Structures are given as C-alpha cells and as structure tokens.
Structure 1
Amino acid sequence: MNKTELIDAMAADAGITKAAAKKALESFLDNVGQSLKKGNRVSLVGFGSWAVSERSAREGRNPQTGKTIKIAAKKVVKFKAGAELSNAVN
C-alpha cells in the first residue's frame, strides 16, 4: 500500500473526503517527524513505537574496490511493532 492508497482507504473508512484524509495523514507524519527530531519517542499503544537511536561510527568496505572506508556516526529511526500489530500479521 502506498500513500495514495492509504489516503483512499482512510477516506472510505472514516467517511471523509480524500482531501481531509490527506491533510490528516500529512499532519500525523509531520508531528511524528518533529517529535523524533526533538529526540522524543512516539508510541501508539497496540500499533507500535518509533524511537531515535544513535549508530556509532565504524569502518566498512567499498564492495567494488574492497578498500576500507570510514562510515560516519548518525541517528536512525527504529520502529518496534506493538503486540496487537504483531498478532494481526501472524
């Protein structure tokens, strides 16, 4: 399912226009992104939670040349599925 299909499904399920569903989805995504950017954790009980984790600097290899390269430290977003979501897919 892509973003357009999700908007269509949200509009149909909630009985709202596609424009309203798009606005709601974009608001949700913006707020989750802003919260994660501040270093906060976002949790939706039963669905899952997003958190920011730091990945330390490390050495890697260029697969074409085999030469060792340095990979910089960075922050990554991690998602952990909640119990209800995990049960729904199993």
Structure 2
Amino acid sequence: MTGSAAPTPSGDLVAAVLNVVRGQIPNPEVGAALEAETSLADLGLDSLRTVALLVALEKEFALEFPPPLITAETFRCARTIAAALRLSASHDRSPDA
C-alpha cells in the first residue's frame, strides 16, 4: 500500500494506520495486540519513534500532516491518527494547499 491514497471507509483507514503503527512499536508481540484505542505512549512510542511514525505515515499515505496536527493528541492512538489523516487528506485537496 506504499504511496497510496488513504482509504475512504473509516475502518479501512484505521486498519491501514494500525499496520503502519505496528512497524514502529518497539515490541512486536505488543504491536500484534494493538487496537484502535490503544495508547501508543503506553506501548513505548517515545518522541523519536513518533517522528519516525509521522514520516512513515506521510510516505504510506502520500501526504503531509499540517503543522497544527502534529501534536501529542494526534499521536495518542491509531484512531486519532486516522482522524488527522482524514483532515490532512482534505487539506491536501483544498485549492489553497
């Protein structure tokens, strides 16, 4: 799915985000149990891994997160990341982008 546009159905987008996030979790066994609402910080996603996740997400979904969305709340869990991706995708399609 590398470089593809974000899937439109909400569940598909969250599943795609979960797949990218799993690659950034330090413990693969824990990553396998990852769910949409699981706190990423509780799983060991520190600031450096969060930056790596940001880059991986931007590459995977072929978009850039607007600076106002690069927050701890955005990277709280896969569901909040998916919501930010939806906003980023709509921002990228706007005429001003």
TM-score (norm 2): 0.24
TM-score (norm 1): 0.25
> Higher RCO, 1 or 2 (CA under 8 Å, sep at least 6)?
2
Larger radius of gyration between Structure 1 and Structure 2: 1
